[in-house]
A and B are shown apart, each in its own frame.
Chain A
Amino acid sequence: MPSGKRTFGVAILVAILAYACFFVAAAAGFSANEVVPAFALKWEAAKALQGFFGVLSGLVFLGLAVALGSSKGKADELIQAAILPMVLLSSFFAAFSLLVGPQIEASLAGMQSASSAFGNSLSSTRAALEAGDLQRARAEFTACRAISPRDGRLSEVEERLTAAELKAKREALPQPPREITPPNDPAAAKDYYLKALAFADKGDYFSANWYASTAARLDPSYTDARRLAAKSWEELHARGADPSDRVRADFYARKLEGYGLLSSNDPVGAYRVFKELADEKHADDPDVRRYLAESLAGTEKAAFFKEEADEALADFLVPDIFFRVPVAQAPEERRGGAAARTEKPAEVLRIVAAKDAAWSGGALYMREFEYLEAGSRGVRALVRSPFAKLVDGKIFLVCVERDKPANVFKPTWNVGPVSGPASLIEVPVVPEAAYRALASRVAPSSLPALELWKAIGDARAYGIDSGPLVEDLLKRSSVPFALFTAAALGGLVGSRFRRRKGDFPKGLYALVPLMAAALIPVFLVVDRIDALISAWSIKLLPGMSSLVVSAGIRTLVLFLAVLLMAGARDLDGESD
C-alpha cells in the first residue's frame, strides 16, 4: 500500500478502535439510576464520543506515530509522504470535533436533565401515592410517561395508581353543591335586573330568569329581582315547560356566564366555562363551539397552557435561573432629549429568577418564577408565579391546565404591578438571546461556536459572567492547534523510532493498547499545559482579546513542532 494511504488507514483504525474502547467503557459504566434506560444506546454512543473528543489530539499523535513507526523507508521520505494525510486527518478531526462536540454535549446534558426529571417525578409519584394525593400522583406520573413511556418502573406505579384511583372513585360520596357567596353589589344587581326586564319584555324567559336570579344573588334585598326571577320561571312552566327546561335553563345560564366572563376580559374564566360545557356533551352547540374557540384564543393571548410548559420542562432544563433584564434605551433618551419619565430605564433594576427554565417553540418556560423591579425609590414591583412564559418581550404569568381549566396557576404580586395587567410583564428581552445567555452559563460547551460567540457578547447585558464562556471558547480554539501539533510530533516520533531491521512483525501491533495506556500521563501533562496557556492568555488580555494571545502562543508551539519534524531528516541521516 502507498505510504500516504497506509498512514491515513492506520491512524483512522487507531481512532476507530479508541472509539470502540470508549463505547465499551460507557456501556460498562451505564447506570439506570443516573440515566433512563430508554436513552441507554444514545447515551453510551454520545458518552463514547465525548471521551473520544477529549483525547483526540493524543489519538492523532498515537495513530501517526504507529503508522510511521511501523513503516519502511527513509525518515524524510516517510514524512514527506505523510504530510498530506497529517493535514487531512487533523483538518477532518478538528472540524468533526468543533461541529459535533457541542451537539454531543447538548445531547448528554439533555438526557441527564430528562433522566433527573424522570427520577424526581417517579419519586414524587410514589410519595404522592403513599400520601393519598392521587391528583398530584397522576400529574407526576404523566410527567414521567412523557419522558420515557416504556420504562419498566412505570408499569408497577401505574398499576398502583389506577387501583387507588378506582378505589377513590368508588368510595367518593356525592358532594353537596358548593354555595358561592356572591359579593353584595347593588349597582351591578340593578344592571342585571334591567337586562332581565328587557329580556322578559321580548318574551325570552330563559335569559330573563338568569339575569334576574343573578341580580337577586348580587343584592339579596332586591325583591323586584327575586320576583321577576320567580315570574319568568313560572312563565316558562306556564308555556308547557317540562322538567328538562330546568336543565336547559341551567345550560343557558352557564353559557351566559361564560359569555359574561369573555366580555369582561377574563378569557381564562370563559375558557373554563365553555370547556366544561363542551365536555358535558354540549360540544355541538354552535354558541359553545364559537365561544370556546374565542375564549381559547383569548387565553392563549393572556396566559399559556401548563401542558406546553410541562412538555418543555421535561426536556433539557437550565437550572438556577438568574439574570438582569437588559437595559433598553427609551426613545427620548436615544434622541438625547429630556426624559419624560420620572425614572430612566437605566436607573431601574429588573431581575428575573426561577428554579429552572427550558426553551421550546420560541418561548422560554420558567418554573418557580420571581421578578423584581426596583428604582431609586425602592421596590416598584415584586411578583412570584409558579410558572411563567417569556415570549415576544412579554412574560406571561398565568398558567392554565388545558383539560382542567379550573386549575389555574396565578401570580402573587407583593408589590405592583407598575402598569398594565397583572397577568403579564413587558420586558425588553429577546427570549432566544436570554436562553442562549442562560444556557451558556450552565453548559457553555453545549453551544455551537457561533452561538457561544454571541452569548459572550450578550452576557454582560444580562449580568452574566462571561469569564467561563471565554474559557470555553479558548479551549475550542485550541483544538485545531493541538491536532496539527500532535500530528507533526506523532509523525516525528514515529519516523525517529521506527523499526529499521527486517519486516515489521504484525504481532507488534498488539502493543498499541499498551502504548496508548503509557501515553496517558504525558497526555495529562500536555492537557494541563494547554489549560495554562488559556489561563495566561485570559490573564494577559481579558475578554475576547485573549483569543489572539492564545492563538499566538499556540502557533508558536505548532511552528516549533513543524520545525522539529522538518529536522527529522538530519537526525535520521545521523543515526542510520
Chain B
Amino acid sequence: MKSWLGVIGRACLEFVILLILLSFAAGASSSVGLPDDSLRPMYIYAAWAALGMTPLAALLTIFLAFFSFELRQRSRVMGWLGLFALGALLFSVGIGMRRAPVVRDVIAQPKLSFSALRLIPPGVAIQNERTAVWVGGYNGSEASDAVAVDFGSDYPRLAYSPRAPLSWKAGEVEIQGRSYSVARAEPPRIHLVPESSVFAGSWIWDRLSSMDDEPVYVVFAAAGGFLLLAIGFRFLCRITGWPLANVFLAAAGMAGLSALDAALSGPGPLAALDLLAKGFGVPLSGPVLLAAVEGVVGLLLGLIDIAAGVRAGRGSDA
C-alpha cells in the first residue's frame, strides 16, 4: 500500500511539473505572433492554457505512471485501481479548476489581437507570393520611392512611383495604377500538436475546454470514458519482453488513442451514435454515448489484461 500511495504521490508531482511545462509551451506558442515583444503576454496565455492543458498533463502522467506501477506494484488489479484513482483525481482537479468561479475570476481568457496590421519596414524588400515590394519610407498617406515587381506577370515587370498613395487600413500602396500589398505577413503559428482540424473532431483537452456551458455530468462522463480507455491500454507497457520497446509502443498507443478519440468525436460518428441511441431507445446524447463506448472498450481491455496476469500468475517482467 505504501508503494501504491508512493506512486500516486510521485505521479501528482509529475503532473504539476508537466502542467507547468505544457502551460508555458502553450502560452509561448499562442503569444509568439503578438505585436507585444515583452514576456507579459506569454504569462497571461500560459495561465489561461493551464486551465485547458490539465487533461493532456493528466494523460502524460498516466502514461508515466504505467511504468511506475509496473515496477512497484506487482498486482495488476491494484495497478489498475491506482491508475484509475490517479486519473480520476487529476481529471477532477482539472474540471474543478476550470469551473471554479474563483479561478475564472482571476484567470480571464486573453483577447486575441493578431489582427493588428503591420507594414513592411522601409528599405527592405518583402516578397508576397511572387510580388516583391520595396518602399523607401512612409509619409502620412504616401509611400516614398515605392517599387514593385510582379514576377508572375509578363516582362517588363518593374513598376515605380516616387510618391505612391498608401492605404494604412488595407495595407496597400498604389504604384502605376495597380495596388500592391505592403502588409507584413503574420508569422506562421507554431502548434505543438497537429491542429485537431486534421480530424473531424477535436482533441480531448480542447473538447473538455469547450464544455464549460455543458452540465457537469456530461464533462465528467467524457473525461471518465477517455480515462478508462487510456488505462485500458496499460497492457502496452508489457507487450514485449523488452521494457524499452514497451515504452515506445505505449507512447505510440497513447498518441493513437488520443487521435482515435478525436476522430470519433467528429460530427459524423456522433450523429451515427445519436441515431443508434434513438434506434435502441437509449435516452443519451452523442458525447455521453461516445464516452460510454470508450469506457466499455477500456474496461474490457483492462479486464483482459488483469485476467491474462492472473492466468500467467505474474506481474511485471521489467
Contact check, B245 vs A515: say whether CB atoms are below 8 A apart: yes
A524 vs B247: C-alpha distance when bound (angstroms): 17
Interface string of B178-216 (1 = CB under 8 A from A): 000000000100111110000000000000000000000
What residues on A are CB-neighbors of B130 within 8 Å? 320
Query: Is A102 in the interface zone, CB < 8 Å from B?
Result: no
Cα A320 to Cα B123 with chains together (Å) = 18
Q: Which of A65, A69, A353, A463 has a CB less than 8 Å from the CB of B124?
A: A463
Residue A575 interfacial (CB < 8 Å): yes
Q: Are B248 and A519 in contact (CB under 8 A)?
A: yes
Partner of A515, one of B134, B193, B248: B248
A508: chain B residues within 8 A (beta carbon): 240-242, 245
Q: A349-B136, A353-B132 are known contacts. Are A324 and B125 too (CB-CB below 8 A)?
A: yes
A511 to B151, CA, bound (A): 51
The contact of B246 among A464, A497, A519, by CB within 8 Å, is A497
Whose C-beta in chain B lies nearest to the C-beta of A494?
Answer: B244
* Residue in B closest to A521 when the chains form the complex, CB atoms: B255
Given A372-B147, A528-B190, A528-B191, A536-B244 contact (CB < 8 Å): no
Contact of B244 among A460, A498, A575 (CB under 8 A): A498
Q: Are B247 and A353 in contact (CB under 8 A)?
A: no
The docked-state distance in angstroms from the alpha carbon of A320 to that of B318 is 60
Max count, chain A CB within 10 A of own CB: residue among B28, B125, B246, B255: B125
Q: Which of A70, A320, A465, A515 contacts B249 (CB 8 A)?
A: A515
Q: Nearest chain A CB to B95's CB is how many angstroms away?
A: 25
0/1 interface trace, chain B 246-288, chain A, CB 8 Å (1 if under): 1111011001000000000000000000000000000000000
A511 touching B318, Cβ below 8 Å: no
Residue B142 CB within 8 A of the other chain: no
Inter-chain contact A514/B192, CB cutoff 8 Å: no
Q: Which residue of A lies closest to B72 (CB)?
A: A575
| B318 engages A497 (CB within 8 Å) | yes
Contacting pair A370 B125 (CB below 8 A): no
In the complex, which residues 122-138 of chain B have their Cβ closer than 8 Å to any Cβ of chain A?
A: 123-127, 130, 132, 134, 136
Specify which chain A residues have a CB less than 8 angstroms from the CB of B251 in the assembled complex.
518-519, 521-522
Q: How far is the CA of A575 from the CA of B3 in the complex (A)?
A: 12
Complex CA distance for A521 and B187, rounded to whole angstroms: 24
Which of these, B134, B191, B192, B243, contacts A463 with CB under 8 Å? B134
Closest to A515 in B: B248
Q: Please, how many angstroms separate the alpha-carbon atoms of A370 and B317 in the complex?
A: 74
Residue of B nearest to A386 (CB): B155
Interface string of B112-150 (1 = CB under 8 A from A): 000000000001111100101010100000000101010
**Do B241 and A517 touch (CB < 8 A)?**
no
Minimum distance in angstroms from B131 CB to a CB of chain A: 9
Contact partner of A529 (CB less than 8 A), chosen from B25, B37, B145, B248, is B25
Bound complex: CA A370 to CA B318 (Å)? 71
> Which of A323, A349, A353 is close to B157, meaning CB atoms less than 8 Å apart?
A353
Residues of the A chain whose Cβ atoms lie less than 8 Å from the Cβ of B192:
525, 528-529, 532
Bound Cα distance A463, B136 (Å) = 10
B160 interface residue (CB < 8 Å to A): yes
Asked if B32 lies at the interface with its beta carbon under 8 angstroms from chain A, I say yes
User: How far is the CB of A41 from the nearest CB of chain B, in Å?
Assistant: 33
How far is A384 from B158 in the complex, measured between Cα atoms in Å?
Answer: 10
Closest A residue, CB atoms, query B125: A463
Residues of B within 8 A of A529 (CB): 25, 192
**Contact yes or no, A379 B160, CB < 8 A:** yes
Contact A351 B134 (CB under 8 A): yes
A368 touches B244 (CB 8 A): no
The answer to the question of B167 belonging to the interface, with a C-beta cut-off of 8 Å to chain A, is no
- Please give, as numbers and ranges, the residues of chain A lying within 8 Å of B177 by CB-CB distance: none
A521: chain B residues at CB < 8 Å are 251-252, 255
Question: A548 near B: Cβ within 8 Å?
Answer: no
Contact A322 B136 (CB under 8 A): no
Chain A residues near B37 (CB-CB < 8 A): 539-540
If the complex has contacts A349-B145, A528-B190, are A372 and B248 also in contact, measured as CB distance less than 8 A? no
Q: Point out the residues of chain A lying under 8 angstroms from B151, CB to CB.
A: 319-320, 355
Q: Are B244 and A497 in contact (CB under 8 A)?
A: yes
Q: Which residues of A contact B242 (CB under 8 A)?
A: 69-70, 499, 504, 508, 511
Contacts of B190 in A (CB 8 A): 528, 531-532, 535
Q: Which residues of A contact B318 (CB under 8 A)?
A: 497, 500
Q: Which B-chain residue is minimally distant from A376 (CB atoms)? A: B162
Complex alpha-carbon distance, A463 and B135, angstroms: 10
- Does A532 lie within 8 Å of B25, measured CB to CB? yes
Closest B residue to A495 by CB, please name it. Answer: B244
How distant is the Cα of A355 from the Cα of B93 in the complex, in angstroms? Answer: 61
Q: If A463-B124, A508-B240, A539-B37 touch, does A353 touch B248 (CB 8 Å cutoff)? A: no
Shortest distance between the CB of B188 and any CB in chain A (Å): 9
Q: A521-B255, A536-B32 are in contact. Are A370 and B158 (CB under 8 A)?
A: yes
Residue of A nearest to B189 (CB): A535
Find out whether the CB atom of A374 lies under 8 angstroms from the CB atom of B162.
yes
In the bound complex, do residue B156 and residue A370 qualify as a contact, i.e. CB atoms below 8 Å apart?
Answer: yes
Contacts of A531 in B (CB 8 A): 190
Chain A nearest CB: distance from B286 CB in Å? 27
Assess whether A66 is interfacial by the CB under 8 Å rule: yes
Q: Is A493 an interface residue (CB 8 A)?
A: yes
CB of A69 within 8 A of CB of B155, answer no
Interface positions, chain A 499-548, Cβ under 8 Å from B, are: 499-501, 504-505, 508, 511, 514-515, 517-519, 521-522, 524-525, 528-529, 531-532, 535-536, 539-540
Contact of A575 among B71, B246, B252 (CB under 8 A): B71
Partner of A517, one of B25, B155, B156, B252: B252
Whether A378 is near chain B, meaning CB under 8 Å from some CB there, is: yes
Distance to closest chain B CB from A443 (angstroms): 14
* Contact of B29 with A322 in the complex, beta carbons under 8 Å: no
- Indicate if the CB atoms of B244 and A66 lie closer than 8 Å: yes
Inter-subunit contact A511/B245 (CB<8 Å): yes
Chain A contacts for B158, CB-based, 8 A = 351, 353, 370, 372, 382, 384
| A372–B32 alpha-carbon span in the complex (Å) | 38
* B127: A residues at CB distance < 8 A: 320, 322
User: Please, how many angstroms separate the alpha-carbon atoms of A482 and B125 in the complex?
Assistant: 33
**Also in contact, A497 and B247, with CB within 8 A (given A370-B156, A374-B145, A539-B37):** yes
Interface centre among A320, A324, A384, A514 (most CB of B within 10 A): A320
Indicate whether A518 sits within 8 Å of B241 (C-beta atoms), given known contacts A351-B134, A497-B246, A528-B192.
no
CB proximity of A145 to chain B, nearest CB, Å:
26
Interface centre among A65, A324, A355, A494 (most CB of B within 10 A): A324
In angstroms, how far is the closest chain A Cβ from the Cβ of B314?
11
Q: Which B residues between 26 and 43 are near A, CB-CB below 8 angstroms?
A: 28-29, 32, 37, 39
- Complex Cα–Cα for A514 and B125 (A): 47
Separation of A69 and B28 alpha carbons in the complex (Å): 34
Q: In the complex, how many angstroms separate the beta carbon of B135 from the nearest chain A beta carbon?
A: 10
| A511 / chain B contacts, CB cutoff of 8 Å | 240, 242, 245
Note all chain B residues with C-beta closer than 8 A to A69.
242-244
Tell whether A532 pairs with B157 under 8 Å between CB atoms, given A497-B247, A518-B252. Answer: no
Q: How far is the CB of A538 from chain B (nearest CB, A)?
A: 9
User: In the bound complex, how far is the Cα of B238 from the Cα of A501, in angstroms?
Assistant: 14
Please name the residue on chain A nearest to B25 by beta carbon: A529
Distance in angstroms between the alpha carbons of A472 and B64 in the assembled complex: 35
A535 touches B132 (CB 8 A): no
- The digit string for A62-84, where 1 denotes a CB below 8 A from any CB of B, is 00011001100000000000000
Could you give 12 example pairs across A and B, Cβ below 8 Å?
Answer: A322-B134, A322-B149, A353-B149, A378-B162, A384-B155, A460-B124, A464-B124, A497-B67, A499-B241, A517-B252, A532-B190, A539-B37
Q: A499-B244, A515-B245 provided; 10 other pairs, C-beta below 8 A?
A: A70-B244, A324-B125, A465-B126, A497-B247, A508-B242, A518-B248, A518-B251, A532-B29, A540-B37, A575-B71
Give the 3 A-B residue pairs with the shortest CB-CB distance, closest first: A69-B244, A518-B252, A322-B132
